[in-house]
Amino acid sequence: MSRKLYIKTYGCQMNVYDSERMSEALGGQGYVPTDRPEEADMILLNTCHIREKAAEKVYSELGRLKHLKAEKPDLKIGVAGCVAQAEGEEIMRRQPLVDLVVGPQSYHRLPQMEARLGSGAKVLDTDMPEDDKFEGLKGRTKAKRGPTAFLTVQEGCDKFCSFCVVPYTRGAEQSRPADRIMAEARELVEAGVREITLLGQNVNAYHGHAGDLAGLVRDLAGIDGLDRIRYTTSHPNDMDDALIAAHGEVPELMPYLHLPVQSGSDRILKAMNRKHTAESYLAIVERLRAARPDLLLSGDFIVGFPGETDADFEDTLALVRAVGYGQAYSFKYSARPGTPAMERKGQVDEAVKSDRLARLQALLAEQQAAAQEAMVGREVTVLFEKAGRMPGQLVGKSGHLQAVHAEADAALIGTIAPVRIAAAAPNSLKGELLERV
């Protein structure tokens, strides 16, 4: 009789990918996925440590699971991911209901850990093993999949931005061998995937192919049935000539790029240890748009970094106006334990942070609205992914990663179809299906 596994995923796309692989690893132990925690024989919380109060959110969720453990004593509860890596022993100490703590570089050993749980032991594994976890994982499931998928190609970070915990929770930069990535991509396409997003903490620092990320993209584009390629998250310092050229030369590489800058102030960028300037970032944007004029850019911004003045914040607004983003993510600075920025003098008042964030988000929302409106009347291709909320409606993504809904037959799910954009809303576009040529 099969057992049921419930995984709650927090944070980034890499955690989504990791959750899929953890589910597959435990599938060999007889576990099948469920979306109902009350049905589960094992519950895993796959955590993220990037945002403020990440650990507190985990403890809060564990508190909500106490009644399930009381009702079902054999239920196994685990914490995985970056909070597990950072606070594994503390989690075990504070929450006796937790049976398993596993870091993001060790989850390929879940089958062995699960066997130890069966004998009544508690398991803590937050090592940074030298063995390749991906090599230790079995091949992807052959079951039918949706039309889009994530594929991790690079992990870890050597940049050591002063506000970020990733180098400490994910370890040093490592790139997967290109042949293994190609094999996994083919497995995904055989299972029905049409679009793959390549993932990495610094994905454009990928060096597992002789041609780096650009070479990998070109090889992936040759896979029959793989029609769309994306990658995230990139760092400005790793945006090389070959990758910029690929944006103009590889049709399968979609015209959307997430390129975080964090601040428009050179003084703050230096304090963040970003190792780029506002000017160098803008130069990269100019070269990218020369290669692919219709490129839609997304970015990340932190406001209220320690020592940020009004003038520094105005520099950020100026950079945003110069770039013109189609999408963006912006946050107030929050101190992460163990990071150099936590010890910096000049912590910014919360009210000032809130005011700056509101002003920045208003500008970014204005730019996003303009990008959405600019699509009206244009013909685009849409990869339809699922049924919409309204009867007879399908929802998918344009090449620019904009959500598009249109009246269409359900048979089009998993296919790419031409659509004319009829209307724009802040977060979606209304399309009208065109006759296929």
| Residue 264 DSSP class | S
Contact criterion met (CB below 8 Å) for 57 and 10:
yes
Taking residues 425-435, what's their average pLDDT?
94
Which amino acid, 241? D
Indicate whether 433 pLDDT > 90. Answer: yes
Indicate whether 171 pLDDT > 70. Answer: yes
At residue 335, the pLDDT reads 87
Indicate whether 154 pLDDT > 80. Answer: yes
pLDDT tens digits, residue range 300-359? 999 999 999 999 999 999 999 999 999 999 999 998 888 999 889 899 999 999 999 999
At residue 115, the pLDDT reads 87
Q: Which of 122-126, 168-172, 370-374 has the highest mean pLDDT?
A: 370-374
Among 106-115, 211-220, 240-249, the least confident range? 106-115
Q: H or E element: which one contains 150?
A: strand 148-152
pLDDT tens digits, residue range 201-211? 999 999 999 99
Give Dmax (Cα) for the chain.
64
Task: Output the CA torsion sign for 126, 128, 134, 138.
Answer: negative
Among 44-53, 137-146, 233-242, 398-407, the least confident range? 137-146
Taking residues 141-166, what's their average pLDDT?
90
Token pair 């995937």: residue: 193
Which amino acid, 115? A
- Which is more confident, 53 or 424? 424
Of 280, 277, 281, 211, the residue nearest 249 (C-alpha)? 211
Q: How far apart are CA 46 and CA 124, in angstroms?
A: 15
Domains of the chain, CATH where assigned:
3-125 (3.40.50.12160), 134-373 (3.80.30.20), 379-433 (2.40.50.140)
Percent of the chain past pLDDT 70, that is, above it, reads 95
Would you place residue 51 in the very low, low, confident or very high pLDDT band (cuts 50, 70, 90)? Answer: low
Neighbours of 131 (CB within 10 A): 11
pLDDT tens digits, residue range 275-286? 999 999 999 999
Of 171, 90, 190, the residue nearest 133 (C-alpha)? 171
Q: H or E element: which one contains 68?
A: helix 66-71
At residue 103, the pLDDT reads 87
pLDDT tens digits, residue range 117-139? 887 889 898 877 666 667 666 66
Q: How far apart are CA 2 and CA 139, in angstroms?
A: 20
| Bond from prior residue into 197 cis (ω within 30 degrees of 0) | no
Pull the structure tokens for residue 331.
Answer: 């946050």
Neighbours of 52 (CB within 10 A): 12
- The mean pLDDT value of the chain amounts to 92
Note the helical H segments in 329-374. 350-373
Contact criterion met (CB below 8 Å) for 45 and 58:
yes
Note the helical H segments in 103-195. 110-118, 133-136, 166-169, 178-190
Between helices 212-220 and 178-190, what is the axis angle to 10°? 30
Q: How far apart are CA 402 and CA 232, in angstroms?
A: 16
Q: How far apart are CA 252 and CA 275, in angstroms?
A: 31
| pTM over the 0.75 mark | yes
Percent of the chain past pLDDT 90, that is, above it, reads 74
At residue 434, the pLDDT reads 94
At residue 139, the pLDDT reads 62
At residue 248, the pLDDT reads 98
pLDDT tens digits, residue range 254-283? 999 999 999 999 999 999 999 999 999 999
Token pair 């061998």: residue: 177
Q: How far is CA 258 from the centre of its chain?
A: 10
Would you place residue 87 in the very low, low, confident or very high pLDDT band (cuts 50, 70, 90)? Answer: confident
Q: How far apart are CA 254 and CA 227, in angstroms?
A: 9
Indicate whether 437 pLDDT > 50. Answer: no
